[in-house]
Structure 1
């Protein structure tokens, strides 16, 4: 990807951020004045992010685009229209306010609109707008009179085109240019630092594998694979794998191009809250058989290819799945009917069918965890209400799950934070706590000597071990705590009187692993 040439003097931290961006941007301090451009030094094409320290967002972006000379008018078509969440009674409804009118509490709403660009004396079309923090998509239209760009051809930004393009003709998804804007301390908007570009990146690649099931392309199919920074193909401990599904109208590039899943992962790794993992972004287009056909593709073709070509584990406990919208429907099919393929499941922005008792029983046995989430203003098929009703029904049936919903509609501004939550709170973080209790009389007194030994283990394969401490209880009585050393926490104590209630060990968790507790052990 091209890196923008700096136009302003940058401080070292800002320079590092600018060089790390995957989009062609320059982040500049608004207090610094740009030197006058000489005739020999043309302004760069592509987007430039500038810190303005001005309301409403503290940042602005200038887009410079070279259209053919025959084009009479260029509009920019961007993912940055806003609404008060209380004013979204239906999908594609809302206040439709441009970024210049952004207000605190707004959610990014649909539909997108076009905004006119201006042609300069140099023949380059420009447009400047304030933008809040986050990742945005945009494209350009030529001589398009429709405000929603309906029926108009969308053109990528050639100075900022996504690095991986579809491998087959007719692949869906027309907007393949993105921009990231940091948050202003003076005018805070959204906490989206977890999406920020990072200096140390792994490898992003598109792979084609043999697929007897695929009808488009026939006999082969595509995935996008991200191996994290520092990935070691010879590491003794294989990596866990996160499999992602896009929604309708997208394909295998969606989760990294639009969803910036690889950046969300690297930020979480950098924060020390997840272990490195491989991401596989799949493509359900051209696969017959609907949801079940997609499951067959995973089982028969995708898993074998990934496990043969990358140093990843073949254990189900070391696989996680997540999908949104149409991919969320596939997530429910996997979660309900093919539960044992994955240790972790997530279904987002999808209503979900009612579960049978057999499906509920399978979900209760999930080794890792289940997440359900949606945008709270998602009115597409009344998804917001349906998702929350289904989560409540599953909980009432005894299924443990993590429900996490965020303000927003049916957009990537919802799915990015859902993925971030999934990574930081659930994926490959599950533990088990075993307990052995020995009790014997404490001499002539009627007290009891108790030795409680808790054994901590990770559900998923990991190069790290759980750390911290384990708390021990008998009934509601706290017996004490013991540090975890080599996966073991051992407490020796004296209970006044007989040990007449079972002992339970509770692990509180650490930055990488979630807590767990033992079954009650009665040592009488």
Structure 2
């Protein structure tokens, strides 16, 4: 991918004449001789193949992507096929319905809706096919078709972009998942569209390592006896760090496999941007594959427990504690997420189910979820009508909250696409996963004249093993009366103050406000004495 940028030549260093001054000092005769002897100007280099992102400062989006593709000889027509057709949210009343407008007709408030459609490309004098597509901000998947006559590319073979391939190709023959390439478009300040900076690829020196790994799996039928994961090690990952890393496990949906979350979902970019912004701590991402595992959801759970966890924890510097693991899955992967959060809460400290209706929870399952060490997230695209997913997801979240389960419900406009799952992951990484804390308080009193001197120490600790300690402020209360505040230093906030003895008829409570990396928490009331 080539991102067009404007460059400004730096000023010449002090004491050094600019190049144009030196050229101006040449004599006219020398200049004429040089011009006469110079060979004819060489031809301009050919335009590169692949996508070129260009800032246009033109409506509707301020950016465009020019796709250049060299098709085989004999191909008479080429189209680009991408997930960039748009609808008004209110017009999406069923799966694969809506306005279906081309990106050149994008309007503020639009959602990216299915189905994909093809756009024609033109063959240039150099034999290269090209088209320029104005696009709003975000990550987009695309492919090319040859001599395809179906508007929806039905029955047409899809070709990825050889000038812009995925970093990791499918790991075994017959691996599900359509052939795709991806391109990222930034947001225009002049024509704002979507706030998707969190999806931007990091600069090469700030990126981590993406690995495809094969591990022994007695349960796997395809490939037989082995299975695959994609592992992302964050920037500056240290295999010898004394404090092991937390691990985020992700599941794809139906029709995909373990490459999906990093290639289409850009999960590694989302994580690195969150780390850069100070909104998430470094963690290892493991993208799993539920294909070829018998036993449905329970078979997948067994695979995690018996094969995936041991392999990851033996080969990477990650924690073996459940509190240091988070899980997230969408669609069919969201169904597996429900099985984990309902019946196997002990395997993860954090759970997330996205774009999945899921069954209603029974009382035993509700009781287990109340004891989850970290947190639970449920989210969906608000226009996801595939099997009434949007309605059922919101119904489940409401029922769990009514039952007393602490659920972080986060929904976004959109349908059953990556344009929904990327922001859901971003919210999970920045606002829930590995952020939970506990706060305890110990309080004593000493008579001081007509008052008593309260000495309280609040201990604030992360639920997840972390190299970073919580910071910020703790507020101390007696009942609803605010007694004062203290800063957290080395995991503790110390409060000393004379107070009216009558206030201490209520227990002392410490409430930690949270900081950029850690969530708020409150103490169990402690009697002063």
TM-score, with length taken from structure 2: 0.92
Deviations 1:52-87 (A, max 9, x none): 000000001100001111111111101100000000
Offset, 1:399: 0.1
Per-residue CA shift, 1:401-423, capped at 9, x if unaligned?
10000000000000000000001
The alignment status of 1:101 with 2:108, answered yes or no, reads no
Deviation at 1:441, TM superposition (A): 2.8
Provide the rounded CA distance (Å) in 2 between the counterparts of 1:409 and 1:169. Answer: 30
CA distance in 1, matches of 2:227, 2:492: 46
Give the gaps of 5 or more residues in structure 1. 14-36
Mapped partners of 2:448, 2:363: distance in 1: 49
CA contact (8 A) 1:364 1:398 kept: yes
Deviation at 1:309, TM superposition (A): 0.5
**1:399 paired residue number:** 405
Q: Does structure 1 residue 488 correspond to structure 2 residue 492?
A: yes
Aligned pairs for 1:111-510 (under 5 A) are 111-199=115-203, 200-443=206-449, 445=450, 447-498=451-502, 499-510=504-515
2:73 counterpart (51, 61, 69):
69
Q: Is the 8 A contact 1:140 1:157 kept in 2?
A: yes
> Matched residue pairs, number?
496
CA distance in 2, matches of 1:12, 1:281: 44
Whether contact under 8 Å (2:438, 2:462) holds in the other structure is: yes
Distance, in Å, in 2 between the alignment partners of 1:403 and 1:412 is 18
Work out whether residues 68 and 131 of structure 2, in 8 Å CA contact, stay in contact via their aligned partners in 1.
yes
User: Partners in 1 of 2:278 and 2:464 — Cα distance?
Assistant: 17
CA shift, 1:10, in A, is 3.7
- Tell whether the 8 Å contact from 1:139 to 1:157 is kept in structure 2 after alignment: yes
Q: Under a length normalisation based on structure 1, what TM-score does the superposition of the two structures give? A: 0.93
Q: Which has the larger radius of gyration?
A: 2
Tell me which of 499, 512, 520 is aligned to 2:525: 520
Whole-Å Cα distance in 1 between the matches of residues 364 and 297 of structure 2?
19
Deviations 1:305-324 (A, max 9, x none): 00000000000000000000
Aligned residue in 2 for 1:31? none
Whole-Å Cα distance in 1 between the matches of residues 439 and 49 of structure 2?
57
**In the TM superposition, what is the alpha-carbon distance from 1:522 to its structure 2 partner?**
2.1
Q: Distance in 2 between matches of 1:88 and 1:264?
A: 28
Structure 1 pair 311/7, CA: closer, same or farther in 2 (3 Å)?
closer
Distance verdict in 2 for CA 1:8–1:227, change over 3 Å:
closer
Structure 2: runs of 5 or more not aligned: 11-40
Instruction: Describe the SS at the equivalent of 2:471.
Output: coil
Q: Distance in 1 between matches of 2:470 and 2:220?
A: 42
